[in-house]
Structure 1
């Protein structure tokens, strides 16, 4: 069984993500962070399916990382938002600039929001979480807006909440949860490098 982290939901949620496994807009029973080798160049579709099968999962959204999941996973809750983050920053990048030579390193963020959101609000949540990620990186002294392979997923119940930007309570909670979990995960990641 591959190393990783598996989160089961108490009931199906709507998922909007760029995950390599079941990305896009889908319904999900949960999500996973799957560890891969730092020189990974395999068939991610087949490997994610295999991880799902090995762990008896069905209809999960799956993310991949070369970071030591058990050592860097950080979880933070604010209001109805729980952020699950794994961070590795060996390939920092700045949006709009030519990326450096590729090295493995990914920031994965999964936000579980226990509210009923429209799909538009879920997209808004991705924006707010990304702003919080970028702020955290810059605040901690990293000259980066992310890495070249970051993953994000927002999981919520279908509903009527239309906005998740920085002017809303939901956006405030997204920002707080992401900033706290990411900062903790980056500190854990730094400690694995020494």
Structure 2
């Protein structure tokens, strides 16, 4: 099976704050990628992400992984200075604090914010995006706060903006982009599931 990935280079380096499997944490990044892996993937993610970066001639990229078809489920949305890139697969919906099912599935959220933020504001942006993600899941009928392997990354410039909560213009734009892109990605993902189901029976 041939996988299709998504690679997004930046015009100039940005500050990154993420839980990504490749170069996660607080770092400087030249871009990010969504790397598609097989279902029930159990490889060495550190080695595989590094190999992916090298094979594609990338340097200092933040890397996310998903078993969903990146080409089919990738969705984007823009509001104000914020652009969201999301891939969603919800075969393993989970609620924080409860024992989850252990099946492959991931929601990856990458937010590019064309503003100068403090690290605290970037952490605030992650909180706002997570709230928007959970609201969208509940709104669409998923009894879940996320999946067991969600990834999120915020990319911004170093600056003075200190807040990105739901009462700020930045936070409102984050919420709008996440909700719109996630809803579209989930619709695409559900469509791929339904098409596979139809082709499984005469």
Structures share a fold, TM > 0.5? yes
Superposition RMSD on alpha carbons, in Å? 0.8
* Alignment TM-score, normalising by the size of structure 1: 0.98
Look up the match of 1:167: 167
Look up the match of 1:114: 114
Look up the match of 2:84: 83
Look up the match of 1:31: 32
Residue 188 (structure 1) aligned with residue 153 (structure 2): no
Structure 1 unmatched runs, 5+:
none
Alignment of 1:48-63 (within 5 A): 48-63=49-64
Q: Answer whether contact 1:111 1:155 (CA < 8 A) is retained.
A: yes
Deviation track 1:23-71 (CA, whole Å, cap 9, x = no partner) reads: 0000000000000000210000000001101110000000000000000
SS of the aligned residue for 1:166 comes to coil
* Alignment TM-score, normalising by the size of structure 2: 0.94
Look up the match of 2:75: 74
Partners of 2:52 and 2:71 in 1: how far apart?
A: 16
Structure 2 unmatched runs, 5+:
195-202
Residue 47 (structure 1) aligned with residue 48 (structure 2): yes
Residue 145 (structure 1) aligned with residue 145 (structure 2): yes
SS of the aligned residue for 2:42 comes to coil
Larger radius of gyration: 2
SS of the aligned residue for 1:144 comes to coil
Residue 5 (structure 1) aligned with residue 44 (structure 2): no
Partners of 1:65 and 1:3 in 2: how far apart?
A: 11
Q: CA deviation at 1:3?
A: 2.3
Q: Answer whether contact 1:2 1:51 (CA < 8 A) is retained.
A: no
Deviation track 1:58-107 (CA, whole Å, cap 9, x = no partner) reads: 0000000000000000000000000000000000000111112x110000
